[in-house]
Amino acid sequence: MNIVFVLFDNVTQLDFSGPVQFLSRLPGAKTHVVNKDGKAVSTDCGFAIVPTGSFAECPQADIICVPGGHGVRQAIADAAIVNFVREQATAATWVTSVCTGSFILGAAGLLHGKRATTHWAYTQLLPLFGATHEEARVVRDGNLVTAGGVTSGIDFALELIAMAQGEDVARTIQLALEYDPAPPFDGGHPSRTAAPIVSGLRDRVYHSAAADMEVAINAIL
């Protein structure tokens, strides 16, 4: 089983590293971490990730996963990235994304008429690609599986493992990696976070970030 992760500069590393840690444990899986040229890509944490290869060297994916990050604004306008995702998706068993990686799927024409999700601060932009936002941490529509923001990628990976190879396999991997979340605070989503914290974060970060993303999306439509 070929599992392909598509990287680009300024990717959110946990969008990628969370699910790859789990999906790489699938029995029979071979993980391919690729970008345009096989050279290191920058992350939003100040370090780089070295892919296993380039798009040209990548086999056909059984599972293709596209993470998000601020670099999505540039990635959706990059023909090499968008065409690679589109071509791989035609024969992939599962087409997936984490966080704003969904917008790269959208740029490839893979969200039209589908239910999908993305990071909570950007869900209002999904209809620009013809998608309907569904309020859930992980959303499946046919062979399309999209996850919400960042840490949702771990939940997504476990759900996908269960769909691909059964719940016992998923539970075994969950136990092996001791995924037993017990966050110290009740929050992590606007519906469960104090309004002043939500509005403060929107004002400092996400109003402008979502506006910039909308400009980038409209530029390719």
CA pair distance 171, 58, nearest whole angstrom: 30
25: DSSP letter: T
Token digits of residue 130: 């013809």
CA pair distance 54, 44, nearest whole angstrom: 21
Token digits of residue 211: 């506006």
CA pair distance 130, 115, nearest whole angstrom: 9
Element (H, E) at 138: strand 138-141
Phi, psi of 141 (to 5 degrees): -135, 100
CB atoms within 10 A of CB 112: 9
Token digits of residue 23: 């999906």
190: DSSP letter: G
Instruction: Please check whether residue 5 is in contact with residue 67, taking contact to mean a CB–CB distance below 8 angstroms.
Output: yes
Whether 99 is catalytic: yes
Instruction: Please check whether residue 38 is in contact with residue 57, taking contact to mean a CB–CB distance below 8 angstroms.
Output: yes
Which positions are catalytic? 99
